[in-house]
Structure 1
């Protein structure tokens, strides 16, 4: 009688034990050893295996481990039986936690990166199989633990002094001397921008690159990085000169940064099973609706909006993506509020458009929203992230900026967008959405 496929948690966070249906008769048995759709539906991470390895052992008592590799493993027994032992060697509160069980062909176990794996054969002719989600490399970061470590105190069925074990495994360090495997890192692209600086403040352990460190428009730059040490890329880089994008030079630059570079990002994420966060804009919409939902279709008015919409479409092809749309960003650097307050101090009485409505987004709020998405187990997909409050026009925001700086808000004069750009002359001006408010 075959068991049902089940998945259960263990004492080690992220280590999952599976019971596999095994169908047998007088000819032998058959099982689905790996069935992505069924297993993922029951809670197994979709870990994208790329290599299959088999360890064959002739005799009872062969003992191997404890090895923690920098990749995830799906382990099963093809023939024979084993006593398996797993030790958490990842940095964190669960470091040193142990899980042991006996396994035959009716079981499998999912072992995340950094959890040490060991086993002892209980029957002759035992085949122990691994599916892993990175290709083996001698340069990878490995972590080892001594099989006889007194702290974890694994109760081996067959004493270690009477089994077949390698000298190398016997020479591994005790737990007190093990350097825990550090988590994969988050990469922030556009680190010197307003949002990039806010993100690196909240994510001090993230790798932060700007154009000087990494040219995201270059395919060779993407190919040169060892992505095995990363699990997330936050793309806070973009070409954002809305009017400049209407010029021949600006159009090419906008498409290069906002689309072609995003293609390289998406390809990398898919190839290496990375999560990406891509920051987009209200300019992907035409602004005819008073509020924009995450389901609204693209209808950009200008070149900048067109390139952001195209980048969004690329990002949506990545299985593990967060597409974050925002509006009217204000942060550490040149921004509208600072400009208004500088003009107030200089005695300038500005004219500001009153027929564009939206919500400000402070980079501190936007960065926190991104961190919350990454740490809150939110479903992948599209999210709107803005600061709170009621929608206002740029004119109303300018008045508030004057008042906050101790100046008379009546010095700000409201004008229409058409009036504001009437004196632009030959300068190319991009059309603006009338309503930029994101739900």
Structure 2
């Protein structure tokens, strides 16, 4: 008999993420009423806001009707409208709890949240049982399922009614034993901008595991009107947007302005829509150029945006869009150095060639090595840090471009005094090309990301190691 008057209460099970919920049911001589799904109340009580999109009902006439152990690539909220079931759940996800079993009975006063990859099955204990489940993806023939045999000896599920005495489909009886089951892998991670400096660092950080994908602009066009159908997006957990239009000076030209807005704003907007509609974590890389460089202290994450030029304006607009995605990290960085063409490589080359370069001395900030950005991105995701914006640069003193160039010369064994400090205005005087305004002060406050347990690399040590590795 259904129990009335329970409080809305979650109970963790032995399978991570599988949670039983007691539901308030109100009844009298006329029958009963319950709120089977109430987003505000249930998420406030701790249920993940899993975004159901479909509600299904399986009606079962007879006692002993048994449904097979199916693990699906979506989350489920399972309950009973009438009758009673014995439910069995087996963890079929890749990981240390693969094969773990949990069983319990459900009536209208109990429900269970079933995460993606956990095998779900039941046996009816009363006639006319209506089994109800909400899912956060529509059924698709392209979805990947994992199945387990109801009679698997390793799972040893104690079915109340023997399997040779129940209504069950031949297909469910033919599923493999646990030893022959291929575990369901985690949801995928997609790295965009895979051939850029940061993209290559992320590849080095994450490797080539089957659930990690890397894509260039040619392989995934964010401006495509068919982006929403370019992937089965519900199979993805994380998108890292390491792609951007970064030609700061060209962005000031009529043609460059169009390209900058297309890549850094319109493309990001499309990506944000994909992430929002498919419950994907969007990690987006930002820039110190969203500020005007007039601060008298290191910039904090919540300081007002005040970009000077087109590039900074497009990055600020992109940040504002990404901030609307429920699950997001904006990683704001500066003066990026990695594998590929960059300031440090250029200065090292000039030092070896005997060139005495003029280098601006009134723009100050910190270098950020792509290895550290990749580490920081992984840390934020793996540690489940609070969503939002995080500054991430190398640590240490804030220095000018000229100071950094002199250090590079010294590390190589050239004379750092050969670097000629030059004011920005004088450096660009007489240039025939369009020149973008640049923030003169770019130091970013690192206290927020450090509070999550992440330690940025020391800038001086990183620079010396990088230069020496250039040979």
Q: Is the 8 A contact 1:12 1:97 kept in 2?
A: yes
Mapped to 2, the partners of 1:307 and 1:267 lie a distance apart of: 18
Question: Once the two structures are superposed, what CA deviation does each residue of 1:142-168 show, in whole Å capped at 9, x if it has no partner?
Answer: 111110000000001111111111111
Mapped to 1, the partners of 2:276 and 2:23 lie a distance apart of: 29
Q: TM-score, normalised by structure 2?
A: 0.92
Mapped to 2, the partners of 1:348 and 1:41 lie a distance apart of: 64
- State the 1:89 CA deviation: 0.6
Q: Identify which of 34, 53, 58 aligns with 2:56.
A: 53
Q: Identify which of 382, 385, 405 aligns with 1:398.
A: 405
Answer yes or no: is 1:34 the counterpart of 2:37.
Answer: yes
Q: Identify which of 50, 68, 73 aligns with 1:65.
A: 68
Question: Once the two structures are superposed, what CA deviation does each residue of 1:289-318 show, in whole Å capped at 9, x if it has no partner?
Answer: 131111011110000000101111111111
Q: Identify which of 122, 137, 140 aligns with 1:137.
A: 140
- State the 1:217 CA deviation: 2.1
Mapped to 2, the partners of 1:220 and 1:23 lie a distance apart of: 47
Corresponding position of 1:320? 327
Mapped to 1, the partners of 2:12 and 2:335 lie a distance apart of: 44
Corresponding position of 1:301? 308
For 2:27, what is the secondary structure of its paired residue? strand
Q: Identify which of 165, 168, 183 aligns with 1:165.
A: 168
Q: Is the 8 A contact 1:216 1:222 kept in 2?
A: no
Aligned residues: 438
For 1:234, what is the secondary structure of its paired residue? strand
For 2:5, what is the secondary structure of its paired residue? coil
| Structure-to-structure mapping, 1:8-157, within 5 angstroms | 8-157=11-160
Corresponding position of 1:238? 244
Q: Is the 8 A contact 2:62 2:128 kept in 1?
A: yes
Corresponding position of 1:179? 182
Q: Is the 8 A contact 2:227 2:270 kept in 1?
A: no
Mapped to 1, the partners of 2:397 and 2:95 lie a distance apart of: 42
- State the 1:105 CA deviation: 0.7
Question: Quick check: 205-214 or 231-240, which moved more?
Answer: 205-214
- State the 1:212 CA deviation: 2.4
Mapped to 1, the partners of 2:444 and 2:201 lie a distance apart of: 21
Question: Once the two structures are superposed, what CA deviation does each residue of 1:309-329 show, in whole Å capped at 9, x if it has no partner?
Answer: 111111111111111110000
Gapped runs of 5+ residues in structure 2? 446-471
Corresponding position of 1:7? 10
Answer yes or no: is 1:200 the counterpart of 2:203.
Answer: yes
Mapped to 1, the partners of 2:221 and 2:357 lie a distance apart of: 38
Gapped runs of 5+ residues in structure 1? none
- State the 1:195 CA deviation: 0.2
For 2:359, what is the secondary structure of its paired residue? strand
- State the 1:229 CA deviation: 2.0
Q: Is the 8 A contact 2:68 2:173 kept in 1?
A: no
Mapped to 1, the partners of 2:301 and 2:169 lie a distance apart of: 57
Computed over aligned residues only, the root mean square deviation of the Cα atoms, in angstroms, reads 1.0
- State the 1:42 CA deviation: 2.3
- State the 1:222 CA deviation: 4.2
Corresponding position of 1:340? 347
For 1:219, what is the secondary structure of its paired residue? coil
Mapped to 2, the partners of 1:237 and 1:379 lie a distance apart of: 23
Corresponding position of 1:267? 273
Mapped to 2, the partners of 1:41 and 1:56 lie a distance apart of: 31
